[in-house]
Amino acid sequence: MRSKLILFLTITLLLSAEMFAQKRPNILLIVSDDHAYQAISSYGSKLMETPSIDRIANEGVRFNKAYVTNSICGPSRAVILTSKYSHKNGFRDNINPRFDSTQNTFIKELAKTGYQTAWIGKWHLGSQPQGFSFWKILPGQGSYYNPDFLTMDGGRVRQEGYVTNIVQDEAEKWLNTRDTSKPFCLVIGHKNTHRTWMPDIQDLRRFDSQEFPLPVNFYDDYNGRAAAQVQDMSIEKTMLLDYDLKMYEDSSKMLDHGFFKRMTPAQRQAMLDYYRPVYDDFKNRKLKGQALTEWKYQRYMRDYLATSVSLDRNIGRALDYLDKNGLAENTLVIYISDQGFYLGEHGWFDKRFMYEESFRTPFLMRFPGKVQPGIVNDNAVMNLDLGPTILQAAGVKVPPDMQGESILPLVTGSHAKGREAVYYHYYENGEHAVSPHFGVSNGRYKLIRFYKRVESWELFDLQYDPKEEDNVINDRHYKRIRRKMEKELNRQIKKYEDTDAIQVLKAAGEW
C-alpha cells in the first residue's frame, strides 16, 4: 500500500511539473538583418507586401517607435542578449567583433529555470554561444547559397539550398526533437536582408516590372551636416556594380566570385539566366550621372526587396508551424531587425547614423491572452528591452544589472508610461566613413554629438523636419531647446554610465 502511494505521488508530481512547464509561455524570437521598417506593409510601406510580418501585427502589437542603441549588426545582437549598452557588454563595433559569451544573458536566466534554449542561423558575434541547450550558427555573415554552419560538436557542415529556407528547416528540426515537457526559447537568426542582397531563385524576377519612386531626399546635399558630408555609403559613389548589383563584364568574372563559386551548376545557371540580360541591357544604355545613379537605385531595390520576400515567407512558415503543432496560444512571438536600413533616403544604403531610418527598427510582438490583437503602440521602446520583456513573460526575475525595461506593461493594460527619451551611441570609425557619435531623442527633438572623424553637433526638430535635413544647432530660435536637450543627453549618459561619452565631452570642455 505504501509503495502504491509513493508511486501515485511521484506520478502526480511529474504530471504537475509538466503541466506547470507548459503553462509557462514558449518564446520565439526572430531576428533579421538590416530589414528596414520602410519595407514592411504593416508599417505603411507601398514598396511591397509582407503578409507574414503583418500577421504578427494584426494578431498582436506593432511598435511604431522602436529604436536601437547602436545601429550595427554584431553590437545590436550583443545588446539584445545582454540588455546592456555596448560600453557595458564590451561589443562596441565590428572592427573587434568578439562577444564575451561568459557574461550573463536573458538566455542563461531562462535556462536556470528549466527552459530549453536554442539559437539557429545568423549569430555574428565572433564567439561560440554559451548557455544554450542547442545552437547551429552561420560563421560570420554567412552565405546566401549553400551556407556553412558551425555546430556544437566543433564541426562545420555545408547545406545545399537557400539560407533562409535552411535556417527555418533547422529551426523546425530542433522543435520536432525538443523535450516537450519543458518550455522553449528559440531564437531564429536570419541573414536576410544583408548586403549583397542575393534573392532566392524563385524570387529573382519578383519586382522587375516595378519602378520605385525616389525618396524625396535622395539628392540630399548634406548642407550643415559635416558627418554626412564625409560618409562613404551612397548609392551613387559607394554601391558597386559588380559586388552589389551583379553587373559583371563577362560570365567568367561573375562565376569566379566567392558568392557564385559555392553554388551548384543549376544555381549558377539560374543566376546567369537572370543577371546577364540585365547586364546586356545596362551596357547598351551607356548611363552616366544621375541616370546611372537612379538605375543603380532601382536594381538595389529589386534585389533588396526580393530578399525580403523570402524572409517574410519563412516567418510565415514559423507561424504556421506553431499553429499546426498546437503551440500558438502559449507562445510569445517577437519579430525585430538588428537595426533599420536606408532605402535611398539621403542617397544612402547601409545604416550606422542616428537618423531615423537606421536608428528606428521594426518591432512586432504577439502574445495570445496577454496582448490584445491589432494594437499600435507609440511608446519609445528599444532593442535593449527585449531581454527583460522575455524574462517577465516567462515569470523570471530580471537581473538588476540589465539596463533595459520590460515593455509588457505598455501593452497589457496597466497604463504604464514609456521612455521620455532614448539614448544612442555608435562607435565604429572605419567602414563607410561614418563618424562615431552619441545622442538623445525625445521624439520631437534629436541632439547628436559626432566625434573623432568629425567634431560637430546636430539638432533636429522632427516635427517640422522629419527627414532630418535642417541642422538647427546654431539657430538662435532653438537656443532654449538646445540647452534642454543637452541636459537630457547628460542625464542619459549618467543613467547608463557611458564613460566613453563622458571622456569625449570632457576632452572638448563640454562636460
User: What are the backbone dihedrals phi and psi of residue 334, each rounded to the nearest 5 degrees, phi first?
Assistant: -130, 135
**Sequence letter at residue 305:** L
Domain range for 437 is 425-507
Cα(363)–Cα(35) distance, integer angstroms? 11
Residue 37: name the closest of 345, 331, 316, 333 by CA: 345
Residue 214 lies in a domain: no
Percentage of the chain modeled with pLDDT above 90 = 91
Question: Looking at the domain assignment, is residue 107 inside a domain?
Answer: yes
Q: Which residues contact 304 (CB under 8 A, 6 or more apart)?
A: 39, 193, 197, 343
Domain end among 397, 419, 441:
419
Mean pLDDT check: name the lowest of 29-33, 96-100, 267-271, 304-308. 96-100
User: Residue 443 sits in a domain of what CATH number?
Assistant: 3.30.1120.10
Q: What is the mean pLDDT of residues 352-373?
A: 97
Q: What is the β-pairing status of strands 184-189 and 26-32? A: parallel
CB count within 10 Å of CB 465 equals 13
The 8-class DSSP code of residue 120 comes to: E
Distance of CA 413 to the CA centre of its chain: 27
Closest CA to 114 of 179, 169, 176, 210: 179
What percent of the chain lies above the pLDDT cut of 70?
A: 96
Q: What is the model's pLDDT at position 257?
A: 84
Distance, in Å, from the CA atom of 114 to the CA atom of 121, rounded to the nearest integer, reads 23
Structural domain contains residue 203: no
Q: What span, in angstroms and rounded, lies between the C-alpha atoms of 96 and 11? A: 52
Same domain, yes or no, for 175 and 323? yes
- Compute the average pLDDT of residues 93-117: 94
Question: What are the start-end ranges of the E strands in 305-426?
Answer: 331-337, 363-366, 375-382, 422-426
Looking at 91-105, 223-237, 291-305, 348-362, which range is the least confident one?
91-105
Same-domain check for residues 336 and 414: yes
Is the pLDDT at 18 greater than 80? The verdict is no
Distance from C-alpha of 124 to C-alpha of 141, rounded to nearest angstrom:
6
Out of 362, 397, 419, a domain closes at 419
Spatial strand order in the sheet of 184-189: 156-158, 148-151, 134-138, 116-122, 184-189, 26-32, 331-337, 363-366, 61-67, 375-382
The pLDDT assigned to 2 comes to 52
- What does the block give as the cell for 504? 569625449
Whether the per-residue pLDDT at 118 is higher than 60: the answer is yes
Same domain, yes or no: 317 and 377: yes
Chain centre to alpha carbon of residue 207:
23
Are 37 and 165 part of one and the same domain? yes
Residues 238 and 177 in one domain: no
pLDDT at 22: 52
Region 257-286: mean pLDDT is: 95
Q: Is residue 9 part of a domain?
A: no
Does residue 213 lie in a domain region? no
Residue 87 lies in a domain: yes
Q: Are residues 32 and 50 in the same domain?
A: yes
For the domain that residue 361 is a member of, what is the CATH number?
3.40.720.10
Question: What is the rounded distance in angstroms from the CA atom of residue 70 to the CA atom of residue 437?
Answer: 10
Query: Is residue 12, in this structure, part of any structural domain at all?
Result: no
CA distances from 254 to 14, 250, 265, 269, 383 (A): 60, 7, 13, 11, 38
Total domains present in the chain? 3
Of the residues 370, 392, 419, which one is the last residue of a structural domain? 419
401 & 498 share domain: no
6 domain-assigned: no
Q: Let me know whether 235 and 375 are in one domain.
A: no
Residues 265 and 178 in one domain: no
Q: Are 79 and 174 within one domain?
A: yes
Instruction: Please tell me the predicted confidence (pLDDT) of residue 3.
Output: 52
State residue 16's pLDDT score. Answer: 42
In this structure, are 451 and 315 located in the same domain?
no
Summarised one tens digit per residue, pLDDT across range 382-432 is 999 999 999 999 999 999 999 999 999 999 977 788 899 999 999 999 899
Q: Could you tell me which of 162, 170, 198, 202 has the C-alpha nearest to residue 186?
A: 170
Beta bridge partners of 380: 65, 419
- Taking only the tens place, the pLDDT of each residue in 275-319 is 999 999 999 999 999 999 999 999 999 999 999 999 999 999 999
Residues 277 and 332 in one domain: no
Looking at every residue in the chain, the average pLDDT score rounds to 94
Beta bridge partners of 290: none
pLDDT for 28: 98
